[in-house]
Amino acid sequence: MSSKILVTYATCTGSTVGVAEAIGKALADQGAQVDVRPMAEVDDLTPYAAVVAGSAIQSKQWLPEAMQFVQTHRTTLAQRPVAAFLVCMTLAMKNGEKYRPFVADFMQPVRALVKPVSEGLFAGALDISKVPYGQARLMFRISVLFGVWKEGDHRDWDAINAWAESLGPLLLPD
């Protein structure tokens, strides 16, 4: 097995891609070989010594394709270090930090399948034009109107990079 790390993600509107890329860059800056790929493009985990898996949150859950990825690769993931992250607009709400324990519970279905060595919880970005049509878009429009959320990028790059930097020794201990 190599010492390569896979950073893989599922996204709905694109902000999870940026988080995954930042994590991959931080790990690469520590000297790791890193691939950053959407979960839908990953069939084989054999080339990887460790995995960082993340998903956007929709309806208090990892996206279905992200849960399917973890379920499909559960046996292989149990044989290597895994870190998990989520990107959730609840953390972008006014006083969002007080919702951190609530949002952390969204990881429970993932924890039931794998045992992450670390978990990252991050706010996302809200561009209503990227939210799929239907109930979700309407909910976000109303929420913005009432001041629950603001459109814009709410990702805390310092927190994302700090978490990513902490992963090196956990994923590839020497």
Question: What SS3 class is residue 163?
Answer: helix
This model's pTM is above 0.95: no
pLDDT at 101 exceeding the cut of 70 = yes
86 or 128: which carries more pLDDT confidence?
Answer: 86
Question: Letter for the amino acid at 136?
Answer: A
Q: Is 8 in contact with 53 (CB distance < 8 Å)?
A: yes
142 or 73: which carries more pLDDT confidence?
Answer: 73
Written as six digits, the tokens of 100 are: 């951190």
